[in-house]
Amino acid sequence: MEDYVKIEKIGEGWWSKNVFVFLKYCPDFLGGVKATKERGPTWMLNLEVLESSSTRMEMSQDDVSSFALVQILALHSDHGPRDHNLIDGVTDGSGSGTSDSSPPDSALVSAGTYGVVYKGRHKSTGQVVAMKKIRLESEEEGVPSTAVREVSLLQELKHPNVVRLLDVLMQESRLYLIFEFLSMDLKKYLDSIPSGQYMDPMLVKSYLYQILEGIYFCHRRRVLHRDLKPQNLLIDNKGVIKLADFGLARAFGVPVRVYTHEVVTLWYRAPEVLLGSPRYSTPVDVWSTGTIFAELATKKPLFHGDSEIDQLFRIFRTLGTPNNDVWPDVESLPDYKNTFPKWKEGSLSSMVKNLDKNGLDLLAKMLIYNPPKRISAREAMTHPYFDDLDKSTLPAACINGV
């Protein structure tokens, strides 16, 4: 921490006490080894953490199957997870929220999944950074599982449209994740546009394409973000947008494993998640991106329910109530009820009036009920909607050879 100085506080939020062994996870396809129960003093990210004789390691079968264990840092408690759906906002210097311990000279900007976020500066280089402080109640309880996921996945996700994790530091009982700093999130930007005005159509197109590039990059590396929303998309003043807050992300394998459906802020949640599907994959991120696409065009959430059932009904009123004909086996999902009102398909164009014909066609393909039929991120990037977008000016152009 001696290399960094805090400038101001920019966020604070909840943290999960469901803290697994603090591991450096590495998916098998990246060359990791199968998870074991080895223990001992180890090094990771230049941090030394000594285990006490009372510590122990536990991993769920899901984690053992989905990840490979490289190194162990600390151990966890048996507390259950917090409900992340109650959390609105992100860290990394974006969003809005409140703090119960903000010093007088700090400027609070965001709420997040856990800990406090400061705007900081590297003492030697002067680089401005976002410093996410992870609160640890005790050495025995270790580090929040959301932080474990974020650290382990971001080390492998190096892309111009994914926020960069620059460093990981330990100071006393605090863990700091050092990120590149972006001054605003997409939600704040949309809120800043004056009433009666809308985002420039080419900027909508550019932002959507960049989001898809980031999502496609993650999906190729078998990573689901699972919490895409405007608050988790950070922007700079050069037209670049980046995926952030990977605290709920998961690596996935084949076949897709059973995951909790208590993820993704309600308004951006895919119908298969809302209906309790125990298995889901990359289409959940595409659905979320589709709802964000509509919000880019209108400045308003496409489906803004105040409960899971209200969210479902808002979707049904627009897209029609799904049945086994349009979505095979949907009526067998845990939370599907035969008593659901039977709405006929409405019109997306009446709700999203600022998109042209190609834009509406792409949006409709991103919001297809049946997940296997939903357009993929890669397929979406080749849609005619983007034909007039100069992709050579985008940050990932050098990677893609454009």
Chain segment 345-379, per-residue pLDDT in tens: 999 999 999 999 999 999 999 999 999 999 999 99
Cβ neighbours around 370 below 10 Å, total: 15
Q: What one-character-per-residue DSSP string does 331-397 give? A: GGSTT--TTS--PPP--HHHH-TT--HHHHHHHHHHT-SSGGGSPPHHHHHTSGGGTTS-GGGSTTH
The reply to whether 78 and 151 lie within a common domain is: yes
Q: Report which residue type is found at 205.
A: K
The single residue listed with the structure tokens 């609070």 is 108
The verdict on residue 231 lying in a domain is: yes
Which domain does 95 fall in, by range?
4-180
Q: Which two tokens stand for residue 253?
A: 């394998």
- 46 torsion bin: left (phi>0), alpha (psi -120 to 50), beta (else): left
Mean pLDDT of 389-402: 78
Average pLDDT of the chain, as a whole number? 72
Shared domain for 285 and 257, answered yes or no, is yes
14 versus 335: which is more confidently predicted? 335
Domain boundary among 180, 212, 232: 180
> Is residue 132 within 8 Å of residue 119, measured between CB atoms?
no
200 and 96 within one domain: no
Query: For residues 91 and 287, which has the higher predicted lDDT (pLDDT)?
Result: 287
Residues 277 and 343 occupy one common structural domain: yes
**Tens of pLDDT, residues 112-157:** 545 677 889 898 889 999 887 876 655 555 566 666 666 766 777 8
What are 279's two structure tokens? 């298995």
CATH of the domain at 224: 1.10.510.10
Dist. CA 366–CA 290, nearest whole Å: 5
* CA distances (Å), origin 176, targets 61, 114, 212, 273: 29, 12, 29, 32
Which pLDDT does position 252 carry in this prediction? 56
Q: Does any domain span residue 363?
A: yes
- Highest mean pLDDT of the ranges 73-82, 195-204, 218-227: 195-204
In terms of domains, do 132 and 210 share one? no
How many Å separate Cα 157 from the centre of its chain?
Answer: 13
- Decide if 399 is inside a domain: no
User: Can you tell me the distance from the alpha carbon of 25 to that of 271, in angstroms, rounded to the nearest whole number?
Assistant: 30
Does residue 47 contact residue 168 with C-beta atoms inside 8 Å? yes
User: Would you place residue 53 in the very low, low, confident or very high pLDDT band (cuts 50, 70, 90)?
Assistant: very low
The predicted-structure confidence for 267-314, as pLDDT tens digits, reads as follows: 999 999 999 998 889 999 999 999 999 999 999 999 999 899 999 999
Specify which residues 110 forms β-bridges with.
11
Q: Which of 160, 180, 200 finishes a domain?
A: 180
Residue 401 is assigned to a structural domain of this protein = no
Q: Can you give the pLDDT at residue 37? A: 30
> What pLDDT is recorded for position 178?
86
* Residue 35: Cβ within 10 Å count: 20
Answer yes or no: is 28 within a domain: yes
Is 175 a residue whose pLDDT tops 60?
yes
State which of 162, 180, 198 marks the end of a domain. Answer: 180
Same structural domain, 270 and 243: yes
Global pTM exceeds 0.95: no
The angle at the Cα of 231, spanning 88 to 183, to the nearest 5 degrees, equals 125
Of 9-23, 127-141, 158-172, 189-203, the range with the lowest mean pLDDT is 9-23
Pair 94, 192 in one domain: no
Q: Would you say 238 and 210 are in contact if contact means Cβ atoms under 8 Å apart?
A: no
Active site residues: 227
Q: What is the pLDDT of residue 48?
A: 27
Interhelix angle 283-298/357-366, rounded to 10 degrees, is 150
Identify whether the C-beta of residue 311 lies closer than 8 Å to the C-beta of residue 266: yes
Same domain, 124 and 170: yes
CATH number of the domain residue 39 falls in: 3.30.200.20
Q: Cis bond leading into 395, ω under 30°? A: no
CA distances from residue 274 to 148, 208, 337 in whole angstroms, order as listed = 26, 24, 12
Residue 326 has pLDDT above 70, yes or no: yes
- Residue with the bigger pLDDT between 96 and 229: it is 229
- Please list the residues that pair with 178 across neighbouring strands: 131, 167
Share of the chain above pLDDT 90, in %: 44
Same-domain check for residues 362 and 242: yes
**Is 319 within a domain?**
yes
> Which tokens in the block code for residue 22?
């603090």
Are 277 and 378 part of one and the same domain?
yes
Looking at the chain, how many residues does it have? 402
Are residues 352 and 241 part of one domain? yes
pLDDT of residue 291: 98
- Structural domain count of the chain: 2
Position 400 in a domain: no
Residues 54 and 203 in one domain: no
Helix (H, G, I), strand (E, B), or coil: what is residue 123?
coil
